[in-house]
């Protein structure tokens, strides 16, 4: 016997509810990841950081670069960041690590006035939530010439060195900035970093490489495009924002 919830009317109602949840009509706070989200993946800016992390690990642990690469990726996958793995497994202090790995060349970035205009027209607050540092975020936003669009940056230090996707990071972010997650949207390039926000009620948007071109990423980082916690997927952030009503 069919229950009331199996009826066409109930199914239509559920579909409408799901659609409403995935819309942006109610969004008052717009939250953006930084690296590989606000600029194209193919610039490989983060690859510079990746290389410097490997160099740091090789020096810190006195191992070969091949072994440093293995440790780096293992820790990144298991602990959320290589830094957190080094802190937990080897008692490393974070300050020197953060300063060293973010000392990169930001020159591949160019001003993006179209993105800035698209962000500015969004109604409400705009914030950055990144596993990088505030100084790195400042450099990126300045090169893109969109720093004026954002109220503040919540970085790895503000998260007390715990990275996304750990739940406590989102809790700290939401608390510090007084954000109601049920009235917020998050734009991210890693699907796994959208799982907790989606559970909290945020509209989630996965930003993928333009035209799915090859980039320097791990296969497991690119998993989850079709996961239930991903509400929207785009390979053109500027165009996506411009199309929002």
Pick the closest to residue 40 from 189, 146, 244 (CA basis). Answer: 189
Q: How far apart are alpha carbons 88 and 245 in whole angstroms?
A: 46
CA dihedral angle for residue 142, residue 148, residue 149, residue 155, rounded to 10 degrees: 60
CB burial string 90-122: b at 16+ within 10 A, e below: eebebeebbeebbebebeebeebeebbebbeeb
Can you give the pLDDT at residue 41? 81
Helix axes 94-101, 45-61, angle to 10 degrees: 140
Can you give the pLDDT at residue 204? 96
| Residues with Cβ within 8 Å of residue 102, at least 6 apart in sequence | 49, 52, 132, 133, 135, 136
Can you give the pLDDT at residue 226? 65
Edge-to-edge strands, sheet with 232-234: 152-154, 125-129, 29-32, 184-188, 203-207, 232-234
Alpha carbons within 13 A on the beta-carbon side of 82: 23
Can you give the pLDDT at residue 176? 98
243's tokens: 């199309």
Q: What are the distances in angstroms from CA 71 to CA 19, 76, 82, 85, 87? A: 42, 8, 8, 9, 13
Measured in degrees and rounded to the nearest 5, phi and psi for residue 162 equal: -95, 130
Can you give the pLDDT at residue 56? 97
Are the C-beta atoms of 182 and 157 separated by less than 8 Å?
Answer: no
> From the first residue on, what is the mean pLDDT of each consecutive set of 10 residues in the chain (245 residues)?
42 39 89 95 86 96 96 91 94 94 94 98 98 95 98 96 94 98 96 94 91 45 67 93 92
Pick the closest to residue 137 from 39, 28, 53 (CA basis). Answer: 39
Can you give the pLDDT at residue 51? 94
């Amino acid at each position: 016997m069919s229950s009331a919830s199996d009826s066409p009317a109930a199914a239509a109602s559920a579909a409408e509810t799901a659609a409403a949840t995935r819309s942006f009509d109610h969004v008052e706070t717009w939250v953006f990841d930084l690296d590989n989200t606000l600029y194209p993946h193919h610039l490989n800016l983060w690859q510079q950081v990746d290389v410097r992390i490997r160099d740091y690990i090789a020096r810190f642990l006195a191992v070969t670069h091949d072994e440093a690469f293995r440790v780096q990726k293992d820790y990144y996958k298991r602990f959320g960041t290589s830094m957190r793995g080094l802190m937990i497994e080897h008692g490393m202090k974070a300050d020197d690590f953060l300063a060293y790995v973010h000392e990169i060349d930001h020159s591949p970035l160019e001003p993006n006035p179209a993105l800035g205009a698209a962000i500015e027209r969004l109604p409400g607050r705009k914030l950055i939530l990144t596993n990088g540092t505030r100084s790195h975020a400042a450099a990126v936003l300045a090169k893109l010439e969109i720093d004026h669009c954002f109220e503040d940056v919540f970085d790895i230090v503000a998260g007390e060195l715990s990275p996304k996707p750990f739940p406590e990071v989102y809790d700290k972010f939401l608390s510090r900035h007084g954000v109601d997650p049920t009235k917020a949207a998050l734009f991210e390039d890693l699907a796994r970093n959208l799982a907790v926000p989606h559970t909290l009620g945020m509209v989630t948007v996965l930003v993928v490489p333009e035209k799915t071109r090859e980039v320097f990423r791990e296969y497991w980082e690119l998993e989850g495009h079709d996961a239930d916690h991903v509400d929207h997927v785009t390979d053109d952030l500027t165009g996506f924002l411009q199309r929002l009503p």
